[in-house]
Amino acid sequence: AQSVAQPEDQVNVAEGNPLTVKCTYSVSGNPYLFWYVQYPNRGLQFLLKYITGDNLVKGSYGFEAEFNKSQTSFHLKKPSALVSDSALYFCAVRGSSGGYQKVTFGIGTKLQVIP
Amino acid sequence: NAGVMQNPRHLVRRRGQEARLRCSPMKGHSHVYWYRQLPEEGLKFMVYLQKENIIDESGMPKERFSAEFPKEGPSILRIQQVVRGDSAAYFCASSPMGDPNTEAFFGQGTRLTVV
């Protein structure tokens, strides 16, 4: 069974500092990996995805994520955090082996950017 | 192109009543997913539907919950005889196909409160 772990319930970072939100996964076959962001009382917004190719994926709002196959990780990063980045971030994975597989989401990490 | 539309945004039901949550996917999307978000528990997959077919309902509770996606009209998530534990945010997502390359787009959610 596939799974996603987001080991940190909350990440605090000062405005202007780099941020990292961690994600590790377990899946059969090659992974398809996604990051979503959720602002209060809103739905999830797609940020970026890794399907194949370059391990460093660039997405919306200056975010990027690095796929590391050996560590089965897909950490979300941004060089300089903004207060407006404060939100709930979800990592998700989908397997590629054998037919249909649903997307599995992590529990979410709350990012707090401190002015 | 309107996004994924969910209604109502907020729904209050008394214990024992029925709740009907509607989801209109993005134009051209034929795949719908329902997720439940409980406080402190992240996003839980419930069911995956194509037009007139349930593909995966492994996340649906065995009793009281049902979902459909008819040929015409929105997808409906139906909860019969609601209990306090059903209080949660229910999110619908849609995609144009079941291709793992394709990310899903989320609606704003329906917040169900059972009193």
> Residue B105 in contact with residue B15, Cβ under 8 Å?
no
**pLDDT-derived band of residue A95, with 50, 70 and 90 as boundaries?**
confident
Helix, strand, coil shares of chain B, percent, nearest 5, are: 5, 50, 45
Interchain pair B43, A100: CB under 8 A? no
Q: Please give, one letter per residue, the 3-state secondary structure of A17-78.
A: CCEEECCEEECCCCEEEEEEEECCCCCEEEEEEECCCCCEEECHHHCEEEEECCCCEEEEEE
For residues B5 and B72, the answer to whether their CB atoms sit within 8 Å is no
Average pLDDT, chain B: 92
Is the pLDDT reported for residue B53 higher than 70?
yes
- The DSSP letter of residue B86 is G
Residue of A nearest to B58 (CA): A102
Task: Kindly identify which residue of chain A lies nearest to residue B109, measuring between CA atoms.
Answer: A43
CA distance A37 to A42: 10
Interface of B with A in 56-115 (CB under 8 A): 56, 58, 91, 93, 98, 100-101, 103-109, 111
Q: How many CB atoms sit inside 10 A of residue A83's CB?
A: 11
Using 50, 70 and 90 to split pLDDT, how confident is the model at A100? Answer: low
pLDDT of residue A94: 86
B51 CA: distance to closest CA in chain A (Å): 16
Lowest-confidence range among A10-14, A35-39, A72-76, B98-102?
B98-102
Band (A92; pLDDT cuts 50, 70, 90): very high
Higher pLDDT, B87 or A40: B87
B-interface mutation test, from A102, A105, A110, most B Cβ less than 10 A away? A102
